[in-house]
Structure 1
Amino acid sequence: MELTGEKIALKSYTLERCHEFYKDYISDPAMTYDNYVYNKERVDRYYQNKVLDAERRFFAICYNNKVIGEIQLKRIDFEKLYGTLSIHLVNDTVKGRGFGTEAERLLIEYAINELGLHTIYADTIHRNYRSKHILEKLGFEHIYDDDVLAYYKYSAK
């Protein structure tokens, strides 16, 4: 499956694309202070345990056929018609260029129009101001905070 936007495309998240992403991934201090070091076996386990989980829909974010991020709907509940959005971009070279915003917009459209979801949740660490700004720009409503995260909700119109 492929969802095509103006600048990027969301493509099926194969094991090869997952490895391509994590080989270039640099952790973002707005999300974690832990450094990331690529490990083939760890990525294989991540793919098996997360990407292939039936309650998730994963996509590779691709720009000019290069994987620049991963985006997913997780904790999908088809009875209550909701899921939770999550996105990671590979490193700072692709941030601030609209790729993440476009990917989130495409995933929201997919969730509502293809999966029939009515509500999409998202959360972000408090210091990730860029993520908060994008969520609000896309129409997410801030619903509450805890000690670590800010929580958001998008309702289909």
Structure 2
Amino acid sequence: MLTKPILTGECIVLRPITVDDAAAMFASLADEESMRLTGTQQTFTFEQVRQHCQRIAQADDRVDYAITLKDDPTYLGEVVLNEIDWHNRSASFRIALASKTLFGKGYGTEATQLIVDFGFQTLKLHRIELEVYDFNPRAQHIYEKVGFKKEGVRRDVLLWNGRYQNAIIMSILEDEYG
């Protein structure tokens, strides 16, 4: 089974998501701005979220971490390396903060750096990739600050409020890391 250690930064702690996080994760699905920034259009029941938390805790092809403060274990969001391809040493990255009230505090930047460090140093990945919507320049800036490079654009992939949006593809390679 894939080891998922606690990752500690300056302000935050990343701990593996457990089924106990289901209520907070479900509550975060009510934050309209977080849902927009992640392009989440579907709705979920609490039971679906609980089963997801249970499933990911056991998964060997992904690491899902709750973002928490050092002095408070409350779920503030999640940061994930998923679709891990062990043969090609690659993974996809995603992050979501639970509420727009958490934006602009540095939590996303620190969580991104911690999970990228874990991906390259511990999991020995060669490539980490992500997609970010073109209406989210704040996230694009964070990813560039951590070292991600823009690779291309997937045009008109998200229909949001009657308007198509592009997804920017970004990645970081192990020799660009650090």
Both structures adopt the same fold (TM-score exceeding 0.5): yes
In structure 2, give the amino acid aligned to 1:55: D
**1:41-80 matches, cutoff 5 A:** 41-50=47-56, 52-63=58-69, 64-80=72-88
**CA–CA distance in 1 between the matches of 2:92 and 2:42?**
25
Judge conservation of contact 2:18–2:54 (CA < 8 Å) in 1: no
**CA–CA distance in 2 between the matches of 1:76 and 1:117?**
9
Give the corresponding residue for 2:39: 32
**CA–CA distance in 2 between the matches of 1:24 and 1:131?**
18
Are residues 1:139 and 2:157 paired? no
Q: Alignment RMSD, CA only?
A: 1.9
Are residues 1:91 and 2:88 paired? no
Unaligned runs of 5+ in 1: none
**CA–CA distance in 2 between the matches of 1:4 and 1:51?**
19
Identity across the alignment (%): 26
Q: Could you tell me how far 1:50 is from its partner in structure 2?
A: 4.8
Give the corresponding residue for 1:7: 11
CA deviation digits over 1:89-119, x for unaligned, max 9?
Answer: 0011111110010001000010111101011
Give the direction of change, closer, same or farther, for the CA distance of 1:35–1:136 in structure 2 (3 Å limit). same
TM-score (norm 1): 0.89
Give the corresponding residue for 2:160: none
In structure 2, give the amino acid aligned to 1:122: L
How many residue pairs are counted as aligned between the two chains? Answer: 156
In structure 2, give the amino acid aligned to 1:56: R
**1:113-124 matches, cutoff 5 A:** 113-124=121-132
> Looking at CA atoms only, which structure, 1 or 2, has the larger radius of gyration?
2
Judge conservation of contact 2:130–2:170 (CA < 8 Å) in 1: yes
Q: Could you tell me how far 1:33 is from its partner in structure 2?
A: 7.5
Unaligned runs of 5+ in 2: 158-166
Q: Could you tell me how far 1:2 is from its partner in structure 2?
A: 0.6
